[in-house]
Amino acid sequence: MIALEDIIGLSGLTEDEILALAEHEHLPEVAAAAMGAYLMHSRDGPQKIRVMIEDDIRAALARGDWSHAKELFMALRHFLKEHRDALQDA
């Protein structure tokens, strides 16, 4: 059986990035990892992932969850460092 860690490894994303996608799309982690892998191989996928994480940060800030917003910001920082193409407009 394939473990969640294996699926995350195949996606090209970190666990924190997958968790942000799961939160944004209200999906189980495995489904979010599959979606992330698909997006990372699609034309505007990295930009879409960036926007999803940014949306999650805004939502956390709006509800006053500073700690979670900080975690998401760190995930976004790492994502942008590793996937510079995500900075382009979708």
- Over its length of 90 residues, how does the chain's per-residue pLDDT go in tens digits? 777 788 788 888 999 999 999 999 999 999 999 999 999 989 899 999 999 999 999 999 999 999 999 999 999 999 999 988 888 875
What pLDDT is attached to residue 90? Answer: 56
**Residue partners of 48: CB distance under 8 A and separation at least 6:** 39, 42, 90
Tokens of 67: 């700690």
What pLDDT is attached to residue 75? Answer: 96
pTM more than 0.85: yes
What pLDDT is attached to residue 5? Answer: 81
The structure tokens 């939502």 sit at 59
